[in-house]
Homo-oligomer: A and B are copies of this chain.
Amino acid sequence: MISVRETNSLMTGKDILSMRVARMLFGRNLSSRVSSDELHILNQAQWSLRTLDSGVTLFDQGDDCQSVTVLISGWALRQQNLPDGKRQILDFVLPGSLLGFSSSARNSYGIETVTPCVVVSLPLRQFYTLLSRVPALAIRVAEIVAESEVRAYTHVTNLGRRSAKERVASFIVQMMQRMADIGSHSSPYQFELPITQVAIADALGLSNEHVCRTLSKLTADGRIRMKGHRITVLDPKALMRDACIDLTSAMSLENSAEIEAALAA
């Protein structure tokens, strides 16, 4: 559950909320990329705040795009469903993500919460007005979308050209990187995955049984340890070899791990 304290601090005032959204979207670059004039405009945006339970549908695939949403805290997922009932999870959505921005009139995917979530949203028209008045935000939005585009592309490669073992291994490596980037855990090699194996299967295009078998194998091979939903990566290099990840991508991981370690010290 979301603590009452946090919700209260968010609601102290409209300007504080919009400020927090701006920080969420820009990260630590807020002051360097946004002029004080622009910041003033950003602060006037009337974001509306909501707290959602876990397992709730934020919007469905095919819904009209009426508003843009920013995930403030919690986990969600993007998914597409096929007419025959099969499900594909497109991406796991972590805080700071932008949801529902699209040039088409209908959403091509649905969003469902995985844990309890705090989200803010703004009607699409107002968001467009904001973008046109704050170019820095428009640029940042393009960057954020480009980031999830990159994740989508690596996902395509995972599903198209990697075996089950490689997919599971690279999934763990990727989640490890993303968790380290958010900096939500002390060690970059240990993190909590608040999802079921069925969800992993639906993300990786596998059956849940095969995911289970593959995870067992990785555990037996000494790559990872699992306790409940906590995953510990015991042998990152071997895991990356299993994942069939090349050195250039691996380098960026090592950097972020180093940065993380430096921050923790």
What residues of chain B lie closer than 8 Å to A30, measured between beta carbons? none
A227 is an interface residue with CB less than 8 A from chain B: no
A131 is an interface residue with CB less than 8 A from chain B: yes
A139 is an interface residue with CB less than 8 A from chain B: yes
Q: A166 — nearest CB in chain B belongs to which residue?
A: B82
A175 is an interface residue with CB less than 8 A from chain B: no
- Which residue of B80, B82, B147, B244 contacts A83 across the interface (Cβ within 8 Å)? B244
* Contact in complex: B143, A103 (CB < 8 Å): yes
Question: Do A78 and B150 form a contact, CB below 8 Å, given A83-B244, A139-B138, A160-B204?
Answer: no
* Contact in complex: B149, A148 (CB < 8 Å): yes
Question: Do A156 and B154 form a contact, CB below 8 Å, given A135-B133, A139-B128, A145-B145?
Answer: no
What residues of chain B lie closer than 8 Å to A88, measured between beta carbons? 156-157, 160-161
* Contact in complex: A205, B161 (CB < 8 Å): yes
What residues of chain B lie closer than 8 Å to A203, measured between beta carbons? 160
Q: A109 — nearest CB in chain B belongs to which residue?
A: B153
* Contact in complex: A145, B149 (CB < 8 Å): yes
* Contact in complex: A135, B131 (CB < 8 Å): yes
CB contact list, A175-222 vs B, under 8 A: 202-205
What residues of chain B lie closer than 8 Å to A24, measured between beta carbons? none
A37 is an interface residue with CB less than 8 A from chain B: no
Question: Would you give 13 A-B contacts (Cβ < 8 Å), ordered by A?
Answer: A80-B157, A86-B161, A88-B157, A101-B142, A104-B150, A108-B154, A131-B135, A131-B142, A138-B142, A145-B146, A149-B149, A159-B205, A160-B202
